[in-house]
Amino acid sequence: MTRSAPRSLDQYLQQLREELAGEDAALIQDALYDAEEYLRAEIAAHPGKSESDVLELIASTYGAPDEVAAAYRDTEAKVKAALNTPVRVTAKKKGAGFFGVFLDPHAYTSLFFMILSLATGIIYFVFTVAGLSISAGLGVVIIGVPFFLTFIGLTRIVSLSEGRLIEAMTGERMPRRPVHPGAPLGFWARIGNMLKDPRTCSTLAYLLLMLPLGIVYFVIAITGLSMSLAFIIAPLVELFGRFDVDPVWLGAYWALPLLMCAGILLLTALMHVARGVGRLHAAFAKALLVQK
């Protein structure tokens, strides 16, 4: 059945959302932002025309919702194809198995993300606690309201930046544009929308949870790296370095190859864990930071 042409901006956005149903939530958020930004600019540029007239006027330039959705799907497929590295494709074809994780660049970037998450977790936690505390403290004076609005706006900028970092580290698609603020509203209406928006609470929760998660990620990454590299390097030091005092477990030369193999296995397992943590964290971030 042929869908009727949208007669208002809200109808256009709703039809576009329905056409993109089943696609990645980050892609839908980006598409809705682009469409709303363009359509609102066109409506503002034609003050003498109604929304329906403007939508009919630009149908041939911007496209109907189904055409825009198809264009976004096609662009997304091309971007994914361009971002797939030849190394990763080769690894999948060969079925490298357990040790094939070393051919996956996202395993390395996810491990780096685990180490970096302690620093970002501390920054996010301090920023969020300080912002909420100052907002509550200033709530009794008039400056408290604009400060709170500024703080919430900054949290959304931080969440967008965090999404870009997660996409770079894990390869998981994250939003490249924020949620569109919609039509210009009055001061108090903006406050009401922010308080009613579930993303306000979910974004604050994510920023607070990044500290405990960052501690766990950092401990796992540093402990795994330290132990695995120590097991790999210690036999080489024993063979070629020769310290005056050697640990008893390094005295038996027959055990050195076994120790090195254990270190390699431990390092490989850590790379698998890092890649898994990266994927799980990306799903967690998408659940809290991306508009549903």
Phi then psi for residue 175, to 5 deg, are: -60, 140
**DSSP letter at 48?**
T
* Closest of 124, 150, 122 to residue 135, by C-alpha: 150
Q: What is the pLDDT of residues 125-170, one digit of tens each?
A: 999 999 999 988 887 788 888 888 889 889 988 999 999 999 989 9
Phi/psi of residue 38, each to 5°?
-70, -45
Q: What is the pLDDT along the chain (292 residues), one digit of tens a residue?
A: 456 778 888 888 888 888 888 888 888 888 888 888 888 888 888 787 887 888 877 777 788 888 888 888 888 887 776 666 544 444 444 445 788 899 999 999 999 999 999 999 999 999 999 999 998 888 778 888 888 888 988 998 899 999 999 998 998 888 888 777 666 666 667 677 777 778 889 999 999 999 999 999 999 999 999 999 988 887 777 666 555 545 555 555 666 778 888 889 999 999 999 999 999 999 999 999 887 6
Count CB atoms within 10 A of the CB of residue 144: 15
The closest alpha carbon to 69, from 97, 34, 100, belongs to: 34
Contact assessment for residue 208 and residue 125, using Cβ atoms and an 8 Å cutoff? yes
